[in-house]
Amino acid sequence: MSNAKFGALGNIVSLIEKICTTASVISVVVMAVFITLDVTFRKLFDKPITGCFEITEDYLMVALVFLSLSYVYKQGGHVRVTLFLRFLPSSWMRPLNVLLGMMSLGFFGLVAVMGWKTTLRAIEFKEFSSSVLAYPLAPAYFMVALGAALLCLRIIEGIIWPSRIKWEDH
């Protein structure tokens, strides 16, 4: 978000997005090391790391996917089907992009709201994983809500100021 247009809010959103993107990158590195160690211990010593699969699935993959959503959107990196766009009149592009943005906003807004409700429910009922480690699931649910909410802010930005999103022209 442009800091000139949004002031302090833009700074806060950009900072949160930067922290989330960094956490997403760190999760990839941790995942690679964790899985490599698990396979090594399993094959060499017949002693796998307890909970490696579950931690990877419930935390690291969630961080990788959801904490990077808004950054990838800002960079124009999400999948777009553009096969038929070249056959449409150029005057249709802006209204079509607004419509698609609104549909995306509706979907990811719902993901954010439901993610937040699920986070609160997990905290209220003290929801833990069913694995041997029995770790809390609320942080994973929160990452879903946070990532989807940040993406919603970027989608709004893309609807209002489409030139700020780095879409490739094909």
**73-100: average pLDDT:** 84
Residue with tokens 């549909």: 103
CA–CA distance from 121 to each of 115, 138, 142 (Å)?
10, 8, 11
What are the pLDDT digits (tens) for 87-131?
A: 888 888 888 889 989 999 999 999 999 999 999 999 999 999 998
Q: Is 21 helix (H, G, I), strand (E, B) or coil?
A: helix
Q: Is 95 helix (H, G, I), strand (E, B) or coil?
A: helix
Residue 170 confidence (pLDDT): 41
Taking all residues of the chain, what is their mean pLDDT, rounded to a whole number? 89
Yes or no: say if 63 and 145 are a contact pair by the CB < 8 Å rule.
Answer: no
What are the pLDDT digits (tens) for 12-29?
A: 888 999 999 999 999 999
Residue 2 has pLDDT above 60, yes or no: no
Yes or no: say if 85 and 104 are a contact pair by the CB < 8 Å rule.
Answer: no
Please state, in angstroms and rounded to a whole number, the distance separating the CA atoms of residues 13 and 19: 10
Q: Between 86 and 51, whose confidence is greater?
A: 51
